[in-house]
Every structure is written in C-alpha cells, then in structure tokens.
C-alpha cells in the first residue's frame, strides 16, 4: 500500500499565511504557562485535506486542541487557542496548526513574524476550577471553541510529551511559502490528566470546513510549565515529502 500524503489546498491556505521575517529569531523564555491540551480522534479521509503534502497523516488521525495562558512575555501577558491536525514529517510526529486565536496585538505580530504562527484576533479564557479546567475562545464576540478537562488527577510531568508544531508561512526574504517547524521546550512544575470534552467547535472559524469531524476522545492534560519558544531549526517545502524538501536553518 503506498504511503498517504496530505492534500491541503495550498493556493487557498496561502492567502491567509502569515509572513515570517526570516529564520534567525531568538528564543523567548515564557515562565509559568498554563496549558490545556485535548486530543480527539477525527475522521481520517476528510482530515487529509487539512495537512500539507509534506506530511503523512497519522494513523489514527487526531486533532489537538490547545489553549495556553502566558502570564509573562516580552510583550506582556497573552493567551492563545489553536487547533492542530496530527501527522508526521518523515517519521516524526507533528501537528499542523490550522489557526491560532490570540488576545494580545503585540503577541500576534511577534508570533507570526518570528515563528510563523497563523494568528488572528480573539478572546481567550482559561478557567481553572476544583473539578475541571474550562477553556473558551471567541472572535468578535462569537464563540469558536469551548472545551474542558474533567475529573482532575495529578500525574508526573515526565508523562507529558507534546509534539512540535508546523506553521504554513511566507518567508519575507524570498517570498517562498514554507512549512516552519516550531518545537518548544517545556519544564513542567505541575501536570494533571482528566477526561476530555469538546463542548463547542466552529469548524469554519479554524478554516476546517467539513473536513474536521470529531470522533473518539483520546486524552486531556493540564500543565504548568516554563516554555522556551526556540530558534528555528528546520523549514519544509509544503509541496514535497519531508525527506526531500526539508532544509536545516540552524544547529
């Protein structure tokens, strides 16, 4: 059986791709981040349309819902909510980011220009309760995502492994459309798991249309961590398999 590749319509997605100011960005160290992550299986066939050809779909395919609050950064406090679709570049698991809603104008600009985050304006809230953690995102007053972790239970940070993100962006230097790998480092001070639940999802708000169909819940975690947004190490040609189209840009 031949390998499967993503079928993302690059011409359409390129219209909203952010511009990245080259590949020489310096890291940010963001202390005390609170991160809610929910993984849900999705219908495989339509989801292939949500990852670029440089990536293979994961088996089973799943969506990653991630809502993070950063209490301190070079541009002040901000929160971000995003949806990723799982896949692999070569043999390594990665998540292609569909869209990132962020509540701080300066953070939106810097995340896009430094790391290629597909940021748009939104209101993002993370509500930590005694029995659950609830995340909500909205745009222009309209809810686009609501999810929660139920039945909080302490675990070790060593049990947590987040996968790197892939961002479709246009390089300012040469105008080329690229897939930027962003692999933050995490130092955990607290970790919990629980039952995942998606209460509301506006597919169109994340550019997914009819291609993102939720299936079985997989996992939910809530962590507190110091996060390092890294120097960029690799970029990919979104139209070629990763083994052919990956370029190393930093050691």
CATH for 172:
2.40.400.10
Residue 4 maps to a domain: no
In angstroms, the CA 10 to CA 213 distance is 21
What is the predicted pLDDT for the residue at 251? 59
d(CA 200, CA 120): 19
Average pLDDT, the chain: 96
Query: Looking at the 3D structure of the chain, how many domains does it have?
Result: 1
Q: Is residue 88 part of a domain?
A: yes
Is position 45 within any domain? yes
pLDDT at 61: 95
Q: Residue 174 is part of which domain span?
A: 10-245
- Which pLDDT does position 1 carry in this prediction? 66
**Is residue 5 in some structural domain?**
no
In a domain, residue 70? The reply is: yes
| Residue 59 covered by a domain | yes
Q: Is 180 exposed, middle or buried (0-12, 13-18, 19+ CB in 10 A)?
A: buried
* Domain assignment present for 95: yes
Decide if 96 is inside a domain: yes
Q: Which residues of the chain have pLDDT under 50?
A: none
Any idea what the Cα angle at residue 79 is, between residues 77 and 81, rounded to 5°?
170
């Amino acid at each position: 059986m031949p390998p499967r590749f993503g079928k993302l319509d690059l011409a359409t997605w390129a219209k909203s791709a952010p511009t990245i100011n080259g590949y020489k960005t310096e890291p940010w160290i963001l202390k005390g981040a609170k991160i809610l992550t929910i993984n849900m299986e999705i219908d495989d066939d339509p989801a292939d349309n949500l990852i670029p050809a440089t990536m293979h779909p994961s088996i089973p395919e799943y969506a990653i819902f991630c809502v993070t609050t950063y209490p301190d950064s070079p541009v002040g406090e901000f929160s971000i909510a995003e949806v990723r679709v799982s896949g692999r570049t070569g043999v390594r698991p990665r998540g292609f980011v569909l869209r990132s809603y962020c509540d701080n104008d300066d953070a939106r600009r810097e995340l896009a220009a430094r790391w290629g985050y597909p940021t748009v304006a939104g209101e993002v809230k993370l509500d930590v309760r005694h029995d659950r953690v609830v995340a909500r995102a909205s745009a222009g007053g309209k809810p686009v995502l609501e999810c929660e972790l139920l039945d909080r239970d302490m675990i070790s940070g060593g049990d947590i492994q987040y996968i790197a993100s892939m961002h479709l962006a246009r390089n300012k230097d040469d105008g080329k459309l690229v897939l930027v790998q962003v692999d933050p480092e995490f130092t955990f001070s607290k970790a919990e798991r629980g039952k995942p639940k998606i209460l509301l999802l506006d597919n169109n708000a994340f550019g997914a249309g009819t291609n993102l169909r939720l299936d079985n819940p997989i996992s939910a975690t809530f962590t507190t961590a110091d996060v390092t947004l890294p120097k960029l190490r690799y970029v990919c040609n979104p139209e070629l398999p990763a083994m052919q189209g990956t370029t190393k840009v930093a050691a």
